[in-house]
Amino acid sequence: MTLPSSPVLQALKKSASSMANRNTPFVYNEWYVAAFAQEVSREFLPRILLGKRVMLFRTETGQAVALSDRCAHRAYPLSLGKLDGDTIVCGYHGFRFNTEGNCIEVPSSSKCPKDLGVARYKVAERGPLVWIWMGDPDQADESRLPEHEWLCDESAWATSSGYFNLQSNYVSMHENLLDLTHLSFLHAATFGTPDYARAEFRSEISQGYFALHRDVVPTTLPALWAKPTGLEGCATAARIVKSEFKSPAFHQVNVSFYDSKLAEQDRRVSRIKTAHILTPQTNSSCHYFIVHGRDFGLEDDAITGFMHENLFKAFQEDVDGMAALEQVWETTDPDDMYEISVVSDGPSVAMRRYLKQRADAEAAARALPNASVQTVSTAETPSRKAETA
């Protein structure tokens, strides 16, 4: 039996203490995806985002709106009330709110008390996604949205999408996506191949951006990729992968496939991109939105159906695997818990340190008497000024 010695264990735990995990506060000053655009309608959509109750809906002119899903009066869920034009009527005692979150009518009173309202969050709708900013409203700059133009370019990318309510913290899922060594094992029955884990890789680590490149050449592609790319039976296929953490909310996997025995000018390169979009729900669960795109066979619905069905079987393996991992953390005595990192964990370790630093800095700023980072307090304050800033 080879277990880490006590000094080694202490060193491992010290190193892990600088990395984000399920216990790390959320990073609020980022854009996160609240919903697919098609989910937001004239019906209220209640959703827990970054530990807070939010509801989304559209105005009569189609603008997406996000408000705190709790009435300012007795905290009844506003999403159980009704939309009357562009006002929201609470289903308990009938307080009425406008789309800014301000209370504009109290049925039992001739006057609406001043400074009564619920938090309103800024949203930005881009293509199939509705993004939300739940941190300091003054920092809600749309230029901070992670780059995702391809998701909105239907002329160049054929896409399909899906959603999982992942029973895992979002940090673990980012880590899963950054090191695709697991394809050979967790996905051995779907899109992994035995040579994947041993293929050469290189890392890119910079502030807020972490990537792992892996070139699997030559390889034989699993049916999921071989069939639609026309590389079935090809023993000299190339699978060139870049897995990128672009923000705490957004991870992108980019893959190119071609026959490596052909000269560069003769190759037909088929590309896919997958947006893995994570929005924390609680410390042990997150919303997992996925948009998968390809730049070939754009009009071929049969390819879309085939790839979607098989990809989501593979993604289900991640969902099940991450839930199993979460249970280990949930049920293990913290004194007995440790992690050991290897070279391919480099980008994930750097990413987890980055998240921890961001979360700690925000928490420290919140603790200041005149905090400029109003993350937690903004969401719950009854002040109309703060809510609509």
Which phi and psi angles does 292 have, rounded to 5°? Answer: -110, 135
Site for ligand FES contains 202 (CB under 6 A): no
- DSSP for 72-125 reads TTT---GGGSEEETTEEE-TTT--EE-TTSBEEE-TTSSSPPTT-B--EEEEEE
Return the one option of ligand FES, Fe ion, none that residue 318 interacts with (CB less than 5 to 8 A, by type).
Answer: Fe ion
Cα 9 → chain centroid: 32
Q: Which of 16, 39, 76, 341 binds ligand FES (CB under 6 A)?
A: 76
Please identify, using beta-carbon distances, which residue of 76 and 209 lies nearer to ligand FES: 76
CA distance 385 to 134: 16
Query: Positive or negative CA dihedral for 291, 286, 210, 349?
Result: negative
- Among 136, 179, 244, 318, indicate the residue that binds Fe ion (CB under 5 A): 318
Asked if residue 95 binds ligand FES (CB under 6 A), the reply is yes
Query: CA–CA separation, 2 vs 66, rounded Å?
Result: 53
The strand pairing partners of 251, in sequence order, are 245, 276
Q: Which stretch binds ligand FES (CB under 6 A): 86-94, 109-117, 276-284, 331-339?
A: 86-94
User: Nearest residue to Fe ion, using CB?
Assistant: 318
CA atoms within a 13 Å half-sphere pointing along the CA-CB vector of 27? 24
CB 276 within 8 A of CB 177: yes
* Whole-angstrom distance, CA of residue 50 vs CA of residue 35: 13
Give me the least distance between CB of 285 and ligand FES, in Å please. 27
Query: Which of Fe ion, ligand FES, none does residue 90 bind (CB under 5 to 8 Å by kind)?
Result: ligand FES
Q: Are 378 and 387 in contact (CB under 8 A)?
A: yes
- Is 179 near Fe ion (CB under 5 A)? no
Tell which positions 242-281 bind ligand FES, by CB under 6 A: none
Judged by beta carbon, residue 97 or residue 258, the one nearer ligand FES is: 97
Min dist CB 74 to ligand FES, Å, is 4
For the record, the structure tokens of 168 come out as: 């895992």
- CB of 173 or CB of 355, closer to Fe ion: 173
322: three-class secondary structure by DSSP? helix
Smallest distance, Å, CB 66 to ligand FES? 18
For residue 46, the 8-state DSSP code is: E
Verify binding: residue 74, ligand FES, rule CB under 6 A: yes
Nearest approach, Cβ of residue 380 and ligand FES (Å): 15
**90: contact with ligand FES by CB under 6 A:** yes
List of residues contacting Fe ion (CB under 5 A): 318
List of residues contacting ligand FES (CB under 6 A): 71, 73-74, 76, 90, 92-95
